[in-house]
Copies of this chain bind each other. A is one copy, B any other.
Amino acid sequence: MFKIRKIITISDYVTAINIILGLCAIIFHDFRFIYASIVFDALDGFVARKTNTVSDFGAELDSICDVVSFGVAPAYLLYYYFNSPFVLVASLIFLVCGAFRLARFGVLDVKYFIGLPIPAGALILAIICEFFINYNNYIVNYGISENIINIVVSILGVIFGVLMISDISYPKYPNKIMMGIFGVSLILSMFGIFEPLGICAVCYVIYGLFKNENVQ
């Protein structure tokens, strides 16, 4: 009756937590679920390799869950917090680019990432949203209207979308020091201190742009 149990491994249940967190981000309008998804997205691959359960099913499931946590969730929250027609278009472009990025990743087999990985795209978009939400009063005090903020987040959303479908190569596994800094930043973001995570995300995006080798 449920032969699917035979192909679902422990790492696939970890992937399932990823998609659950993605839906929670949408339902509770909270970016922290996206940050938590990044942990489980990294963890499922680690568990699959450690338990020797890497499978086509797991890879498929990974893409399916990633589009929810790192495509739909940030795109929806972008529109939810910066409600305007510009932002709607940017949200849709970001999501479509994310879907194309994931589908390409599913059919290519390379040692580096081609195009900004979707978790990084989601992360930087989420951080930028948090920045504009948290510092909204300061920004408006400088005479920058809500309309301009909406246009800025829309343009950034489109840029990150386009980076995802570009040919710019990004490193797959950063070194341990970087991983440590990223891990600490991720923990801090759970307590509302999102700035260090933002710096990590911006550094990663810029790193790819500067060492661009334009490969495919």
Chain A residues near B (Cβ < 8 Å) = 1-4, 7-8, 12, 16, 19-20, 22-23, 26-27, 55-58, 60-61, 63-65, 67-68, 71-72, 75-76, 79, 88, 91-92, 95-96, 99-100, 102-104, 106-107, 115, 165-167, 214, 216
Contacts and interface: CB of A to CB of B under 8 A. Distances in A.
A103 B57 contact: yes
Contacts of A104: 4, 7, 57
Given A95-B19, A100-B61, A76 B167 contact: no
Copies of this protein in the assembly total 2
Contacts of A12: 100, 103
Contact of A76 (B23, B55, B56, B115): B23
Contact of A26 (B1, B26, B214, B216): B26
A165 to B, nearest CB: 5
Contacts of A26: 26, 72, 76
Q: Main SS of chain A's interface residues?
A: helix
Contact of A100 (B8, B76, B165): B8
Nearest to A80: B27
9 contacts: A16-B96, A20-B95, A22-B72, A23-B72, A26-B72, A57-B103, A60-B102, A64-B99, A64-B102
B167 A3 contact: yes
Which residue among A56, A61, A75, A76 has the maximum number of chain B CB atoms within 10 Å of its CB? A61
